[in-house]
């Protein structure tokens, strides 16, 4: 099986002066992870490596550079799923670790699926993962956005969804053995209620992988994605449709049922990509059949 990988860097309206950083970040993630797949690494290791690059890149709303909640704090959510055995690991409300997908991966290796807040951080420490100062995650851009939103009387995150879900990151890969894995990582939505958890760490909502169908990671209107279990639906659609059709149908379903805006990346079990978004942009990058990397903010480029 020819290995494949696709990553996204969030679905929203990306300002012109930030497009190149999003394209470069997505390319860097594929450049880090694809050689691993060629050397025989598992899809699980490849998506984790790709997400690590994106979490460390302050361009994106994941790890360093994440959005602030209404208390002015960063709470990170991340997930990873192995389509081979349906093992799943997720964390939410993480404040002291720059690459929360690494904690999610450790959770996947336990009997549990999902750890939150202090328990997730204690577990991460026990696993020897490197802790950071919460302030290491903050960037000036997001501090300024926080101050702006705080000064807007009656601001609610509903307003944030319409014009600009942010730069959540995701990856889906298939390895030489035909195993599929998917992963998603985010700081959530700007000025979210403290304790709010979006779709990204929820199995079947912001992420899903099943070797018998395919794998998906999405970004966008989190509450709508949770209510429609969009990534699991996208994978189910693969039983009837090609990857492009399944991705399109998932986003149409989201809009039809809950007026949601989002983007999704998919890989089917034969390594075909599906990409669709109903936001203005979704930065993404993937490996072409000749081994080169294609990056764009529009699905049709």
Return the active site residues: 168
Query: Which helix (DSSP H) or strand (DSSP E) does residue 208 occupy?
Result: strand 207-210
The rounded radius of gyration (Å) of the Cα atoms in the chain is: 17
Beta-bridge partner residues of 94: 76
Shortest reach from residue 29's CB to ligand ASP, in Å: 16
- Closest CB to ligand ASP belongs to which residue? 222
* Interface residue list for ligand ASP (CB under 6 A): 10, 61, 165-166, 168, 186, 188-189, 198-200, 206, 219-220, 222
Beta-bridge partner residues of 77: 186
Instruction: Name which of 93 and 165 has its Cβ closer to ligand ASP.
Output: 165
Instruction: Name which of 255 and 272 has its Cβ closer to ligand ASP.
Output: 255
Say how far apart CA 89 and CA 91 lie, in whole Å.
7
Instruction: Name which of 89 and 187 has its Cβ closer to ligand ASP.
Output: 187
Say how far apart CA 38 and CA 16 lie, in whole Å.
34
Residues 6+ apart with CB under 8 A from 22: 9, 10, 14, 59, 60, 167, 283, 297
Residue set of the binding site: 196-199, 219-222
The tokens for 88 are 């799943």
Shortest reach from residue 225's CB to ligand ASP, in Å: 6
Shortest reach from residue 60's CB to ligand ASP, in Å: 10
Instruction: Find out whether 175 and 43 touch, Cβ atoms under 8 Å.
Output: yes
Shortest reach from residue 77's CB to ligand ASP, in Å: 7
Instruction: Name which of 83 and 93 has its Cβ closer to ligand ASP.
Output: 93
Residue set of the binding site for substrate: 196-199, 219-222
Say how far apart CA 127 and CA 6 lie, in whole Å.
29
The alpha carbon of 232 is separated from its chain's Cα centroid by a whole number of angstroms, namely: 14
Instruction: Compute CA distances 35 → 50, 182, 293, whole Å.
Output: 11, 17, 12
């Amino acid at each position: 099986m020819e290995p494949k990988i696709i990553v996204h860097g969030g679905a929203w309206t990306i300002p012109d002066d930030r497009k190149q950083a999003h394209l470069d970040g997505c390319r860097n993630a594929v450049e880090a992870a694809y050689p691993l797949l060629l050397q025989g690494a598992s899809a699980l290791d490849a998506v984790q490596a790709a997400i690590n690059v994106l979490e460390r890149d302050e361009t994106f709303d994941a790890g360093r550079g994440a959005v602030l909640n209404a208390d002015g704090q960063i709470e990170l959510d991340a997930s990873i799923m192995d389509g081979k055995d349906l093992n799943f690991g997720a964390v939410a409300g993480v404040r002291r670790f720059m690459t929360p997908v690494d904690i999610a991966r450790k959770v996947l290796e336990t009997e549990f699926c999902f750890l939150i807040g202090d328990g997730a951080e204690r577990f991460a420490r026990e696993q020897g993962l490197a802790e950071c100062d919460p302030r290491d995650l903050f960037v000036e851009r997001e501090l300024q956005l926080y101050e702006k939103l705080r000064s807007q009387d009656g601001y609610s995150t509903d307003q944030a969804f319409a014009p600009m879900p942010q730069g959540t990151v995701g990856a889906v890969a298939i390895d030489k053995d035909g195993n599929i894995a998917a992963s998603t990582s985010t700081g959530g939505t700007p000025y979210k209620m403290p304790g709010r958890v979006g779709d990204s760490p929820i199995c079947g909502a912001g992420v899903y992988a099943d070797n018998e169908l395919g794998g998906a990671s999405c970004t966008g209107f989190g509450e709508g994605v949770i209510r429609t279990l969009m990534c699991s639906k996208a994978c189910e659609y693969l039983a009837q449709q090609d990857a492009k059709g399944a991705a399109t149908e998932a986003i149409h379903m989201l809009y039809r049922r809950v007026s949601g805006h989002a983007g999704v990346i998919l890989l089917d079990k034969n390594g075909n990509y599906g990409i669709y978004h109903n936001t203005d942009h979704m930065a993404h990058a993937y490996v072409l059949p000749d081994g080169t990397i294609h990056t764009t903010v529009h699905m049709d480029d």
